[in-house]
RNA sequence: GCGGCCGUAGUUCAACGGUAGAACGCCGCCCUGUCACGGCGGAGGUCGUGGGGUCAGCACCCAUCGGUCGCG
């Protein structure tokens, strides 16, 4: 894998470049649509490519459970199996340690607010207490045991196992197995976890080297919201021979930018950085300004399926009464398939009628909006207009 | 014409004689490495109408209107 920085943003960590993978080049910064189970929900690969996406991300844990990485391997690998010709990345399953563990059945997300985190009812007192609310993921020193949400079977995932699965799946870029830490954990726990995640990173790298294949491996920086831990993690993970780096874990919305900055000031400049699971428009500007090259996020597709659509004037809920007879486009000057062919009233009708096409048209628009926003930001870096573009965008988006 | 059953939220239906509920719909909010076509909240009913018995009725009795089924 080869990464070239073409242009740097003045007075910041931002840059634009090109990332070469076995399945094609990616112009960075870039947004990576999420197709957890080898499918961008509601869309065909052709639709995903047509809206401008260059690379997608799938999930190790979900594909391991169903249909099984061996099956995908027999099919000839992910690209052939799902008919996506472009680059693919797979997440290691580390996020499921969080989503099926500490966050399971709770109202916790990886983004939190400072006020929320001081709420004592959200703090988790006994880490390994079995009497705790039932979790589908339990963490040990060696790996994580998952209880399948599909059939209840128990699976033990270690860093080695995750890497083996990912090699079977055959993505272009794979991730080290980490623990995505809950924002409700205290500093002491964050510190313990960091040590473990660092050990897992080394083990992931060793296993990766053992296996032949042309894929690249990204290590993952953790450390929660703490400056020292973030810097410590960036230093350690950055010192290992990864092809690129993921920035993972939980953030408070307010200080996400400083956390990203701490990390990217330390990580090797010449290797690509991926901000895991982040993708609201304001976060994209923030990340790019602070040296992030790749983003993935379920937000555009998930909120689309629930009726929220991105526009340059902010998000709108297409199910609101005011759109039932609004025969204008979602965005008059949008170049996406949905806006070129359909009205708000029609899309609203599809949602109210629970038609499957609603999810498709909404997902096309939202992904186009986000993928294209990042492309425009990239362009603004080359044209030295990043800060003006950002200011102009925010003026309309948050009004 | 006779007999039975049914009239409760916008709709389809619940509710031992003691505070009228659900589902869907409607109105709105939320979603950041997807257990996610998901989650949360809100508005909305003088219980067809008119009498009566009862401390107390959506529920019991009578009448009436509407619907429905059966028999003529």
pLDDT in tens, A49-83: 999 999 999 999 999 999 999 999 999 999 999 99
Which of the nucleotides in strand B have any atom less than 7 Å away from a protein CB atom? 25-39
Q: Give per-residue pLDDT as tens, A277-331.
A: 999 999 999 999 999 999 999 999 999 999 999 999 999 999 999 999 999 999 9
Q: At CA A167, angle to CA A302 and CA A178, rounded to 5?
A: 60
pLDDT, mean of residues A367-382: 98
Angstrom distance, A379 CA to B61 C1': 84
Quick check: A111 and A254 in contact, CB under 8 A? Answer: no
DSSP H helical ranges for chain A: 45-50, 60-65, 69-74, 78-82, 94-97, 114-117, 159-169, 187-210, 227-239, 256-266, 281-289, 299-305, 337-341, 344-352, 356-382, 386-397
Quick check: A57 and A32 in contact, CB under 8 A? Answer: yes
3-state secondary structure at position A264 = helix
Question: Would you say residue A119 has pLDDT above 70?
Answer: no
A263-287 burial, b for 16+ CB within 10 Å, e for fewer?
bbebbeeebbbbbbbbbbbebbbbb
Average pLDDT, chain A: 93
Nucleotide nearest A300, from its CA to each C1': B32
The single residue of A243, A283, A293, A296 carrying the catalytic annotation is A296
The single residue of A91, A172, A178, A243 carrying the catalytic annotation is A91
Q: Complex ipTM, two decimals? A: 0.91
The predicted structure's pLDDT at residue A399: 85
Answer whether any strand B atom is within 7 A of the Cβ of A100. yes
Considering only residues 183-202 of chain A, list those whose CB is below 7 Å from strand B. Answer: none
Query: Is A186 annotated as catalytic?
Result: no
CA distance A173 to A220: 13
The predicted structure's pLDDT at residue A108: 85
All residues at 6 or more sequence positions from A39 whose CB lies less than 8 Å from its CB, including other chains: A82
Which is higher by pLDDT, A26 or A181?
A26
Q: Give per-residue pLDDT as tens, A149-192.
A: 899 899 999 999 999 999 999 999 999 999 998 888 889 999 99
**Of A304, A258, A254, A300, nearest to A277 (Cα)?**
A300
- Note the Cα A121 to chain centre separation in Å: 28
Quick check: A366 and A304 in contact, CB under 8 A? Answer: yes
pTM for this model (two decimals) = 0.93
The predicted structure's pLDDT at residue A115: 45
Radius of gyration of chain A (CA): 21
Considering only residues 240-279 of chain A, list those whose CB is below 7 Å from strand B. Answer: 246, 248-249, 253, 276-279
Domains and CATH numbers, chain A: 29-297 (3.20.20.105), 305-399 (no CATH)
């Amino acid at each position: 894998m080869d990464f070239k920085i073409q242009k740097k943003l003045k007075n910041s960590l931002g840059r634009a470049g090109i990332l070469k993978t076995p399945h094609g080049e990616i112009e960075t910064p870039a947004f990576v649509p999420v197709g957890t189970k080898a499918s961008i929900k509601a869309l065909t690969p052709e639709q995903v490519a047509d809206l401008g996406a260059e690379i997608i991300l799938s999930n190790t844990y979900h594909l391991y459970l169903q249909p099984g990485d061996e099956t995908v391997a027999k099919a000839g690998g992910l690209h052939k199996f799902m008919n996506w010709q472009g680059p693919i990345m797979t997440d290691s399953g580390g996020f499921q340690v969080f989503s099926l563990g500490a966050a399971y059945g709770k109202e916790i997300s990886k983004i939190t607010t400072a006020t929320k985190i001081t709420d004592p009812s959200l703090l988790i007192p006994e880490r390994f207490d079995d009497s705790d609310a039932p979790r589908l993921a339990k963490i040990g020193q060696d790996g994580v045991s998952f209880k399948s949400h599909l059939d209840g079977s128990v699976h033990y995932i270690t860093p080695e196992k995750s890497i083996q699965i990912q090699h079977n799946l055959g993505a272009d870029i794979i991730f080290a197995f980490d623990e995505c830490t809950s924002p409700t954990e205290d500093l002491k726990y964050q510190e313990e976890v960091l040590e473990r995640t660092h050990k897992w990173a080394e083990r992931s790298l060793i296993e990766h080297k053992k296996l032949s294949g042309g894929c690249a491996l990204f290590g993952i920086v953790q450390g929660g919201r703490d400056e020292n831990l973030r810097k410590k993690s960036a230093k350690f993970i950055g010192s290992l021979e990864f092809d690129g780096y993921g920035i993972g874990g939980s953030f408070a919305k307010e200080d996400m930018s400083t956390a990203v900055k701490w990390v990217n000031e330390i990580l090797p400049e010449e290797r690509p950085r991926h901000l895991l699971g982040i993708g609201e428009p304001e976060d994209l500007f923030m990340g790019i300004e602070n040296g992030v090259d790749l983003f993935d996020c379920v937000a555009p597709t998930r909120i689309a399926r629930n009726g929220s659509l991105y526009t340059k004037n902010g998000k709108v809920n297409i199910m609101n009464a005011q759109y039932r007879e609004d025969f204008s486009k979602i965005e008059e000057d949008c170049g996406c398939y949905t806006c070129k062919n359909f009205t708000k009233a029609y899309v609203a009708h599809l949602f109210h009628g629970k038609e499957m096409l609603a999810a498709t048209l909404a997902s096309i628009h939202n992904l186009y909006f986000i993928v294209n926003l990042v492309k425009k930001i990239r362009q603004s870096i080359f044209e030295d207009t990043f800060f003006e573009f950002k200011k102009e965008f925010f003026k309309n988006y948050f009004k």
